[in-house]
Amino acid sequence: MLNVHVFESGFTFLLADLRFQCSKWGNPADPVQILDFFQSIVEMESGRDLFDKMKHRFLSFKSHKYIANSEHYQALSKGQAPKFMVIACADSRVCPSNILGFEPGEAFTVRNVANLVPTFESGPSETNAALEFAVNSLEVRNILIVGHSCCGGIRALMSMQDDADSSFIRSWVIVGKKAKLSTKATASNLDFDRQCTHCEKESINNSLLNLLTYPWIEERLKKGLLSLHGGYYDFVDCTFEKWTLDYKGSITDGNNRVIVKDRSFWC
Partner 1 sequence: MAKQSAEVVVQGLKKILISEEQELDEEVQAKVEMLIAELQGKKHGSHLHCKDPDARKLDHGFHFFKTNIFDAHPEFFRELAEGQHPKFLVVACSDSRVSPSVVLNFKPGEAFESRNIANMVPQFDRIRHTEIGAVIEYAIKSLQVDNILIMGHSRCGGIERLMKLPDHTQTFDFIDEWVKIGLPAKKKVLQEAGNLPFEEQLTLCEKESVRNSMGNLLTYPFVRDAVVNGTLTLRGGYYDFVNGSFEQWKMCPKPCH
Q: Return the residues of window 172-211 that contact partner 1 according to CB under 8 A.
A: 172-173
If one asks whether residue 126 binds partner 1 (CB under 8 A), the answer comes out as: yes
Region near partner 1 per CB under 8 A, out of 87-95, 157-165, 205-213, 217-225: 87-95
Among 69, 119, 133, 187, interactor with partner 1 by CB under 8 A: 133
Write the CA distances from 249 to 143, 188, 204, 212, integer angstroms: 18, 28, 17, 13
Site for partner 1 in 32-61 (CB under 8 A): 34-35, 38, 40-46, 49, 51, 54-55, 57-58, 60-61
Count of positions (residues) in the chain: 267
**Does residue 125 contact residue 118 with C-beta atoms inside 8 Å?**
yes
Find the shortest distance in angstroms from Cβ 196 to partner 1: 14
- Verify binding: residue 160, partner 1, rule CB under 8 A: no
Other CB atoms within a 10 A radius of the CB of residue 13 amount to: 16
- Minimum CB separation of residue 163 from partner 1 in Å reads 18
- Cα–Cα distance, 1 to 197 (Å, whole number): 49
**Residues 71, 98, 165, 254: which binds partner 1 (CB under 8 A)?**
98
Q: What residues from 215 to 234 belong to the interface with partner 1 (CB under 8 A)?
A: 227, 231
For the CB of residue 188, give the shortest distance to partner 1 in the complex, in Å. 23
- Contact segment (CB under 8 A) with partner 1 among 120-128, 177-185, 201-209, 217-225 equals 120-128
DSSP 227-241: EEEEEEEETTTTEEE
Output the CA–CA distances (angstroms, integers) from residue 92 to 95, 112, 113, 153, 201, in the order listed: 7, 11, 11, 13, 19
Q: What angle do CA 190, 196, 199 make, to 5 degrees?
A: 100
Per CB under 8 A, the segment of 95-103, 179-187, 199-207, 218-226 that binds partner 1 is 95-103
For residue 254, give the 3-state DSSP assignment.
coil
Q: What gap in Å lies between CA 3 and CA 10, rounded to an integer?
A: 12
Task: Verify binding: residue 238, partner 1, rule CB under 8 A.
Answer: yes
What backbone torsions phi and psi does residue 237 show, to the nearest 5 degrees?
-100, -5
Query: Rounded to the nearest whole angstrom, what is the least distance from the CB of residue 213 to partner 1 in the complex?
Result: 13
* Closest to partner 1 by CB, 65 or 178: 65
According to the binding rule CB under 8 A, does residue 27 interact with partner 1? Answer: yes
